[in-house]
Structures are given as structure tokens and as C-alpha cells.
Amino acid sequence: MNVEQVLFWCAVGLYGVSASAYVFGFIAENEKLLLGGLAAAALGFAAHLVSIGARWAASTTNPFISISESLALGTFMSMAIFLLVQATSRKVRPLGVFVLPVVFILLGWAGTLRVASDSQLAPALQSPWLWVHIVGASIGFSAVLIAAGLGLMFLLKDGRSGRIYDRLPSTTDLDRLGYRFVAGGFLMYGLMIVSGALWADQAKGSYWNWDPVEVWSLVSWLIYGIYLHLRITMGWRGRRLAWYALVAVFVMIVTYWGIPFSAETFHKGFRVEHEWQPPVDGIR
């Protein structure tokens, strides 16, 4: 095992420790355990950061292409935003109760799918749009993951009181913050779809092919579009939207990593011709 792999598994382990500390700390209403969870999460994040850096330094391309790399980036971005939220407000510390178990499972899953990075970036990927695309996708995912965590906080706090519950922000604030993260995620996910369309147009001459990856992205984007309408147009607030955000993020995870990667992916390498080609007359 090289340094990068060791650090990768250290990150997975630390996130696991952090997830348990958060969950048990919350159940036991033990602030110290929650603080321990945050410390383990921060250490895990440092290992995660260095492992991605080491992989990048050792490869001739960028380490964000395969499904495992994509999961590693998505969870990395989620942790970055999670830690940023933690740094700006102490009140939402228990957010880790939701975010860390999800990050732990996703990164662990990524660990089982690891392959050596490609020595060459597939020609279709050699475009600046790649960056816009993956940044949009990973921030979009992170934002709706945090929104789902805030939804869970809302559901846990609503109607309850106690040491931990009283420290959480008010349900109105949790609700409004959740909406902001969904709206921001929706925007970033929109950026991912638009850049993907422009990119496909450049590489294949068609901006939209209704292929499974595209359709699933559209479906999950529309699901968040519906969230926004339920809130803004229909006036939904609170519990129902919190549940919606929680369920929607799982749909997002399945559509983003579960389905597209099992379907046929974007053309790669020396392509295959399957149609009947009648011979052409005359070479001279």
C-alpha cells in the first residue's frame, strides 16, 4: 500500500469513528462526544485532502474521473462545506449525525471500487468544461446533503426539548437554512447539467441525447425544482419539506453514482462500429 492508499483508508476510518461519536453523542446527549466527532471529522478531512493531493501528484491526469474518484471528490466537498458550516456556527454541531454516516459509507464504498488512475485522460474529457462540470456536481451534491442533514435536525428538534435540542437553532432557522442549501445545490446542479450539455455538444455535436446519465440527472434536478415550488409556490414549510429533503438526497445518491456508472458511459477510446457496412467500390 502506498501513502495515498494508507491516507485514504485513514480518512475512511476516522470518518467512521466520527460518525459513531456523533450518533452516540446525540443519543446520549453528550456534548463531549459530539466534540470528539468533530475532531475526528477534521482529522479525517485532513487525511482525505492529502490522499487526494498525493493521488493527483502521482498521476499524469486528474484524479476525478472514475466512480471511486468521483465519490471521493463528492464526499470531500461535502466535508469541506460541513466543516465550514461548523466553523461559522456552533449551534449546528449535531449536523454530523447525518452527514458523517453518509460520508463514511460513501467513501468506504469508493474504497471497494478503487482502480489505478488512467495514464491518459480520455480525449472527450480533455476540455475545460470538465472542471465546471465536476465542481458543479460535487458542490451541488454537498449542498443538498447538508440540506438533508438540516432536515433531520429539524425533525429531531421539532416538538422536543432537552440539552441538545435546546442548543440547536430554532426550527424556523433550520427550515430557512435548509432551503438556502437546496436553492444553492439546485443552482450548482444546474451548472453541472448546462456545462455537460455544452461539453457534449462540443464533443459529440449534440447537447442532449436522453441517455441514462442525462435523464437521471434531469430527474434529480427536477426533484429539487419541485422542492422549490412546494416551498415558494405552495407555501410548504417545516416537517414535510424536511422529509422531502431527506428522501430526495437518497434519490440523488442513487441517480448520481448508483445508476449512471452501471450504464454504458460516454464514448471511450477507439470506438466500435456495429452496423453493416456494404463494401465501397473502387480504389483507383
Pick the binder of another protein from 20, 206, 244, 252 (CB under 8 A). 206
Residue 89 interacting with another protein (CB under 8 A): no
Return the range that interacts with another protein (CB under 8 A); candidates 73-81, 94-102, 106-114, 218-226: 218-226
Q: Which positions from 159 to 188 touch ligand HEM by CB under 6 A, shown as an x/- string?
A: ------------------------x-----
Residue 61, φ and ψ in degrees, nearest 5: -115, -155
On the 0-12 / 13-18 / 19+ scale of CB atoms within 10 A, 210 is exposed
Residue 247 interacting with another protein (CB under 8 A): no
Residue 135 interacting with another protein (CB under 8 A): no
Residue 229 interacting with ligand HEM (CB under 6 A): yes
3-state secondary structure (DSSP) of residue 98: helix
| Number of residues engaging another protein in binding (CB under 8 A) | 65
Cα(283)–Cα(82) distance, integer angstroms: 65
Cα distances (Å, whole numbers) of residue 37 to 34, 47, 125, 219: 5, 15, 38, 34
Return the range that interacts with another protein (CB under 8 A); candidates 40-48, 81-89, 96-104, 182-190: 182-190
Cα(128)–Cα(282) distance, integer angstroms: 43
The grid coordinates listed for 98 are 447525518
Least gap, CB of 141 to another protein (angstroms) = 17
Buried b (16+ CB within 10 A) or exposed e, 137-168: bbbbbbbbbbbbbbbbbbbbbeeeeeebbebb
Pick the binder of another protein from 46, 49, 135, 259 (CB under 8 A). 259
Least gap, CB of 192 to ligand HEM (angstroms) = 13
Residue 228 interacting with ligand HEM (CB under 6 A): yes
Residue 136: HSE in the Cβ half-sphere, 13 Å Cα cutoff: 20
Pick the binder of another protein from 240, 249, 258, 262 (CB under 8 A). 240
Which one, of 200, 72, 205, lies nearest residue 129 by Cα?
Answer: 200
Least gap, CB of 79 to another protein (angstroms) = 23
- The residues binding ligand HEM (CB under 6 A) are 183, 222, 225, 228-229, 232-233
